[in-house]
């Protein structure tokens, strides 16, 4: 009889901890006597049938490495129904019984559709530095990205206070302020601008900065999420410069937040989720993604990927100005 065969892929923006999850998927599968195939460049690899068997040795020394050994892509072709139908036929022909998809909301949407339309059992592992998936308090890469941003901003703080300057620092999060708000708290930022804010963020920023100047602050750090409504930090900076004649500087942290060696948290959750995804697929569970709630591992139906995204905790957003007193 043909052995049970699992395919694993990473999709969307890479995130530190993805390799830990791949390693766990492979080694847990081998431990259960299950074949495991690596699918390269995300859903593009399904379309191109770019897959090959993975052995335990393929996963040696990857736990501590950022990025993904399977490569990744944002595959627009997979949004087309007929492309998914062909991919499902190819998977069945190759004897791949189920899939582990490591990625964010776009990747989980693809996995959900494969399951709904073609009955392919799929398990999702949250892998995105944005930490913006419904039903889970954490995603792989978020903790590492936060620590990277914090390390960079601590350095910026040194020069900001030496020159008595205002710095606007852009962090990632196209449609999520999770990285921005958590970073702002951890760096003692004077203000934070983020997409989910329900106030006029430019006006709120000016009020906060003025209050700081009145209290004698000579330098300030403002953390700006990529997707903030007030605009990118260059636009916000230009406005502030024109209105208040400030000697400010803008830093865009960019993709350094996506790389680097994963933190302990990202390694541990990657390992746990990788192993659990395999065990559940082999036991017949389908159409789910894993997550964490109150630090416990949970399983969430893939259909919930369309639920409202979590927003930065109010307790933290409110704390930024308080602690910048």
Catalytic residues: 130
Q: Give a three-class secondary structure readout of 1-61.
A: CCCCEEEEEECCCCCCCHHHHHHHHHHHHHHCCCEEEEECCCHHHHHCCCEEECCHHHHCC
Instruction: Give me the residue label for tokens 């804010």.
Output: 197
- Candidates 26-34, 94-102, 171-179, 186-194; binding stretch for ligand F6P (CB under 6 A): 171-179
Residues 222, 226, 232, CA angle at the centre, nearest 5°?
70
| 128 touches ligand F6P by CB under 6 A | yes
List the one residue from 130, 170, 228, 276 that touches ligand F6P (CB under 6 A): 130
C-alpha–C-alpha distance, residues 268 and 22, integer Å: 12
d(CA 91, CA 110): 14
Q: What are phi and psi of 22, to 5 degrees?
A: -60, -45
Spatial separation of the C-alpha atoms in residues 155 and 192, rounded to whole Å = 18
| Per CB under 6 A, 138 contacts ligand F6P | no
**Binding residue for ligand F6P (CB under 6 A) from 104, 124, 212, 233?**
104
Taking contact as CB under 6 A, which single stretch among the options 54-62, 161-169, 172-180, 239-247 is the one that binds ligand F6P? Answer: 172-180
Q: What would the x/- binding string for ligand F6P be over residues 7 to 36, using CB under 6 A?
A: ------x-----------------------
Nearer to ligand F6P, 36 or 224 (CB): 224
Q: Does 172 bind ligand F6P (CB under 6 A)?
A: yes
Report, in Å, the least distance between residue 99 CB and ligand F6P: 20
Q: Which is nearer to ligand F6P, 26 or 184 (CB)?
A: 184
In whole angstroms, the minimum distance from the beta carbon of 233 to ligand F6P comes to 14
Question: How many binding residues for ligand F6P (CB under 6 A)?
Answer: 10
Closest distance to ligand F6P from the beta carbon of 126 (Å): 12
Q: Which of the residues 245 through 284 are near ligand F6P (CB under 6 A)?
A: 258
76 scored as a contact of ligand F6P (CB under 6 A): no
Instruction: State which residue has the least CB distance to ligand F6P.
Output: 174
106 binds ligand F6P (CB under 6 A): no
Please list, in sequence order, all residues whose beta carbon lies within 8 angstroms of the beta carbon of residue 235, skipping any fewer than 6 positions away. Answer: none
Q: Taking CB under 6 A as the rule, does residue 124 contact ligand F6P?
A: no
Q: Which helix (H) or strand (E) holds 293?
A: strand 288-293
Residue whose structure tokens are 């416990």:
296
Q: Is 226 in the site for ligand F6P (CB under 6 A)?
A: yes
> Rounded distance, CA 199 to CA 218, Å?
26
CA–CA gap between residue 77 and residue 294 (Å, rounded): 37
Q: Long-range CB contacts (< 8 A, 24+ apart) of 80-83? A: 81/117, 83/47
By the criterion CB under 6 A, which residues form the site for ligand F6P?
Answer: 13, 104, 128-130, 172-174, 226, 258
């Amino acid at each position: 009889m043909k052995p049970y065969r699992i395919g694993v892929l990473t999709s969307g923006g890479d995130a530190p901890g993805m390799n830990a999850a791949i390693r766990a998927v492979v080694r847990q599968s081998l431990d259960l006597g299950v074949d495991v195939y690596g699918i390269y460049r995300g859903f593009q690899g399904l379309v191109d049938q770019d897959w090959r068997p993975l052995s335990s040795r393929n996963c040696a020394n990857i736990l501590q490495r950022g990025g993904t050994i399977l490569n990744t892509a944002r595959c627009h072709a997979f949004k087309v129904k007929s492309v998914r139908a062909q991919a499902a036929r190819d998977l069945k022909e190759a004897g791949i019984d189920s899939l582990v998809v490591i990625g964010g909301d776009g990747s989980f949407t693809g996995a959900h559709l494969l399951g709904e339309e073609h009955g392919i059992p799929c398990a999702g592992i949250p892998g995105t530095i944005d930490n913006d998936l419904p039903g889970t308090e954490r995603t792989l890469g978020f903790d590492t990205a936060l620590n990277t941003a914090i390390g960079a901003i601590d350095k910026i703080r040194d020069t900001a206070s030496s020159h008595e300057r205002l710095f606007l620092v852009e962090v990632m999060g196209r449609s999520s302020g999770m990285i921005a708000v958590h970073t702002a708290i951890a760096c003692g930022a004077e203000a934070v601008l983020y997409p989910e804010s329900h106030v006029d963020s430019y006006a709120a920023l000016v009020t906060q900065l003025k209050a700081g100047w009145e209290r004698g602050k000579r330098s300030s750090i403002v953390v700006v999420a990529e997707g903030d409504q007030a605009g990118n930090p260059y636009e916000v900076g230009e406005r502030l410069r024109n209105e208040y004649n400030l000697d400010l500087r803008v830093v865009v942290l960019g993709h350094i937040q996506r790389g680097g060696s994963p933190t302990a948290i990202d390694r541990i959750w990657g390992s746990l989720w990788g192993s659990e995804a395999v065990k559940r697929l082999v036991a017949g569970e389908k159409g789910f993604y894993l997550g964490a709630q109150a630090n416990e591992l949970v399983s969430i139906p893939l259909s919930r990927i369309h639920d409202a995204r979590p927003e930065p905790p109010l307790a933290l957003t409110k704390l930024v100005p308080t602690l910048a007193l």
